[in-house]
């Protein structure tokens, strides 16, 4: 099971709007856009609202895969969204029958895979869609940083400027299971009317050694481990775990 199933953040159009406001272009999409410059084709898993692929669409074959129709509806309506093929699918089992020069998964979508079996299936899917010289890249937060400890209501409270609702108060709250590494978190938005929109998500934190083992079992090899999206090499205390690799 993935952390997106039954999560209103990915299915309620009002919450999808907030997702887009809080997840714009960042270091991850900029880094992947640079990687994509020399790729003849791009496949993006967990594409969400299509910000990344629509932003680089230029006529090359590009496919975005996501399990949330509400997200894909936004992707299709984007400027240049019609230049990308959007597919509703689950990374654990989808097979497009095509191979790509770059397979990406950003925005910590990897962490929505909540078991080793889920991760193994996803990595098999990545391997099945890579050209012989193709590259894959994804990101996962480093559990040693215990980032979830800053996702309490007090620490995460913020104002989100919404084009329709105006300034909206937002916050998160979490529970953490030390045995599984799974964080269950709530995202809440209190509208000026007093109504509160909320969603509940689950993500998993696993360490670099465990990710490396699962990657190797999928017939993939990592050329470089990055510790952030600026290109710094991975170190034990790095914020991110980012493998950039290819077929073995």
Residues 42-62 have pLDDT tens digits of: 999 999 999 999 999 999 999
Residue 49's Cβ-side half-sphere holds a number of Cα atoms within 13 Å equal to 21
If we measure between CA atoms, which residue out of 177, 168, 169 comes closest to residue 153?
A: 169
Q: Give the pLDDT confidence of 91-112 residue by residue, as tens digits.
A: 999 999 999 999 999 999 999 9
SS (H, E, C) 180-215: CCEEEEEEEEECCCCCEEEEEEEEECCCHHHHHHHH
Q: pLDDT for 136-149, tens place per residue?
A: 999 999 999 999 99
* pTM of the full structure: 0.93
The predicted pLDDT at position 9 comes to 59
* Confidence band, pLDDT 50/70/90 cuts, at residue 22: confident
Average pLDDT of span 75-84: 96
Residues 145-196 have pLDDT tens digits of: 999 999 999 999 999 999 999 999 999 999 999 999 999 999 999 999 999 9
pLDDT value, residue 17? 82
């Amino acid at each position: 099971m993935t952390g997106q199933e039954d999560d209103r953040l990915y299915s309620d159009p009002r919450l999808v709007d907030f997702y887009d406001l809080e997840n714009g272009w960042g270091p991850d999409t900029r880094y992947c856009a640079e990687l994509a410059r020399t790729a003849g084709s791009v496949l993006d898993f967990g594409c969400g609202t299509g910000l990344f692929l629509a932003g680089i669409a230029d006529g090359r074959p590009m496919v975005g895969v996501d399990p949330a129709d509400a997200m894909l509806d936004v992707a299709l309506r984007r400027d240049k969204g019609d230049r990308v093929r959007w597919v509703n699918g689950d990374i654990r089992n989808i097979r497009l029958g095509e191979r790509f020069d770059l397979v990406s998964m950003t925005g910590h979508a990897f962490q929505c895979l909540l078991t080793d079996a889920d991760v193994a299936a996803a990595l098999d899917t990545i391997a099945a869609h890579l050209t012989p010289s193709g590259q894959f890249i994804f990101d996962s937060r480093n559990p040693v940083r215990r980032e979830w400890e800053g996702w309490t209501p007090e620490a995460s409270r913020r104002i989100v400027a919404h084009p329709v609702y105006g300034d909206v108060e937002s916050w998160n709250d979490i529970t953490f299971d030390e045995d599984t590494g799974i964080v269950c978190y709530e995202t809440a938005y209190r509208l000026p009317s007093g109504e509160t929109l909320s969603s509940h998500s689950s993500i998993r934190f696993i360490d670099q050694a465990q990710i490396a083992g699962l990657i190797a079992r999928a017939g993939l090899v990592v050329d470089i481990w990055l510790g952030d999206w600026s290109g710094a090499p991975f170190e034990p205390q790095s914020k991110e775990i980012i493998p950039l690799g290819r077929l073995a």
